[in-house]
Amino acid sequence: MATVTLTKDNIEDVIRADNMVIVDFWAGWCEPCKAFGPVFDKVSDNHPDVTFAKVDVEAEVDLAQGFNVRSIPTVAVLRDRVMLFNQAGALPESDLESVVSQGKAVDMDSVHAEIARQQAAEDEAGNPAPSNAS
């Protein structure tokens, strides 16, 4: 499967339309990025049910910053609009395959329930109930 170029203009459409997105943050001058590119492309061919996207960090600075990219290459995994994985460094093919498989295996109902619990706890901590004591 061909990779998609991810930009600030299409990110919402890409992550809404697809259940799982694997993102490669890269730059043309980055030698490890150049070495990782063919691995990323090969693994994408093995998973037609997953969207593989590339972000040129020089062209999409805000997008890279939004994903907290500090070093390249960086791989991120999103599923149901939730970031499950974000790691700098060129992964060997077997490790990237493992990341994809693990992402597919995540119980997203549990993840969404945990996010809701955390949000409720944050809301409660930030907005304590009014006291009736006088």
Task: Give the pair of three-digit tokens for residue 72.
Answer: 């390249």
Domains of the chain, CATH where assigned: 4-125 (3.40.30.10)
**pLDDT tens readout for residues 49-82:** 999 999 999 999 999 999 999 999 999 999 998 9
Q: Whole-model pTM?
A: 0.85
Q: How far apart are CA 85 and CA 63, in angstroms?
A: 16
Q: 134: pLDDT confidence band, cut at 50, 70 and 90?
A: very low
Positions marked catalytic:
30, 33
**pLDDT tens readout for residues 84-131:** 999 999 999 999 999 999 999 999 889 889 999 988 988 888 765 555
Residue among 120, 130, 80 at smallest CA distance from 104: 80
Compute the Cα dihedral for 59, 80, 50, 41 and give only its sign. Answer: positive
